[in-house]
Homo-oligomer: A and B are copies of this chain.
Amino acid sequence: MKRIFATLLFVFALSITTHAQADWKNLFNGKNLKGWTKLNGDAEYKVVNGAIVGTTKVDTPNTFLKYNEEFADFILEFDFKVDDSLNSGVQFRSASVDSYRKGRVYGYQYEIDPSKRAWSGGIYDEARDGWLYPLTNPISKAAFKKGAWNHARIEAVGNHIRTWLNGVPCANLLDDRAAKGFVALQVHSIGKPALAGKQICWRNIRICTENIEQNLWDKGAYAEEVNRMNNILSEREKAEGWMLLWDGKTTKGWRGAKLNAFPQKGWIIENGILKVLKSDGGESTNGGDIVTEQKYRNFELKVDFKITEGANSGIKYFVDTELNMGKGSSIGCEFQILDDKKHPDAKRGRNGNRTLASLYDLIPAPINKPFRSGFFNTALIKVNGNHVEHWLNDVKVIEYDRNNQMWNALVQYSKYRVWNNFGNAAEGHILLQDHGDEVWFKNIKIKPLP
């Protein structure tokens, strides 16, 4: 099945790439590196037999060979062949400016990954936000050919970026981080001398910037869409019933958990990010928690969050703001947000049940959870009646059923035992916690379920 799918796509790809040669321009002349400039590191790029050959070198950072022109919308194609042990990639819509990390190249990268992970064709945001489109589909992962020439394709039109590897769809990304930038060939830095001299080769590098629409590949063969646009729903998300729980600009739909209005202090909105500010690290001692005005029963809730060093916060659900009218946080089940390495609460509780993504004080998230330190992470909470799941960056980390004897027995062991019938409410508010540390939120989306 996998083989048939890949073969069909490959044949289809061959037939279409023969069209409209006039719309394409070669970025590499096959003879020398005219038009290209080396940046950042000191790895070597040579032209050998009509291919650019990059070679790894010890004691030098990531090196980039950039093409000296910026492209906005385009289709880029190239062939590559890589040593088995070498990670590499091709930058697009990228930049190098003195004001950002002293000229460090950053931006989208078409991943080249011959490792067992096999994420070639995925999209990494180099030196900025990390993985935007990790490769999970086994058909895409199987497209890479070891030790042979591979054919890559990138379509970048507006906020829509798609990739293919050997005719197989890999990434399908909605993103608005960069509208234009340069193309560059990466030679990765190496940790140990044994990896010096490894090679990555490119050839047939060509770009289409004219009549793009006519040269796009079939819409039916896309990989699964990932939307990384800030506070904007994709058409597909809208069709699936997702709604923005926060508009990215105002406090509309939210209030203080113990207030009739949004808190006057402690929270700010900046560049499409909702930030709870640093105070004394106390629980709801500054602006206090904020909650949705609406209550929710069955839903999928997504929240992108980024922690600052040592931070503590949380996303609560089934929140009853009437329960605790005194000091402290409002009462509900909590998807814990915590800097596990720097905040002391990670070692409290029982068996790690206060670490990030845990159901706070009740069920610990696994130790090997896919937390991405220094980046935005995506929390997903699924509620279907009594069945609840916590997901972190597309991996399910917690699963439980409430409203039963075992749930109640577990609650009785936790600090929630003082709250009658804790966690068993049919519906409740969604809450973002003020725990006196700076944490950033965006892309707060909910899909109500029947």
Contacts and interface: CB of A to CB of B under 8 A. Distances in A.
A271 interface: no
Interface in A395-448: 398-401, 404-407, 409-410, 412-414, 417
B400 A363 contact: no
Number of copies: 2
B363 A405 contact: yes
Contacts of A404: 399-400
Contacts of A350: 409, 412-413, 417
A286 B362 CA distance: 38
Contacts of A410: 406, 409-410, 413
A351 B417 contact: yes
B409 A353 contact: yes
Contacts of A406: 363, 400-401, 406-407, 410
Q: Which of A362, A407, A410 has its CB near the most chain B CB atoms (within 10 A)?
A: A410
- Interface of chain A, helix or strand or loop or mixed? mixed
A121 interface: no
Q: How large is the interface on A (under 10, 10 to 19, 20 to 34, 35 or more residues)?
A: 20 to 34
Nearest to A401: B406
Contact of A363 (B362, B363, B399, B409): B409
A364 interface: yes
Contacts of A412: 350-351, 353, 364
Shortest beta-carbon contacts, A-B, top 4 = A413-B413, A351-B412, A363-B409, A400-B406
16 contacts: A350-B409, A350-B417, A351-B417, A353-B409, A362-B409, A363-B405, A363-B409, A364-B405, A364-B409, A364-B412, A399-B405, A400-B404, A400-B406, A401-B406, A406-B410, A413-B414
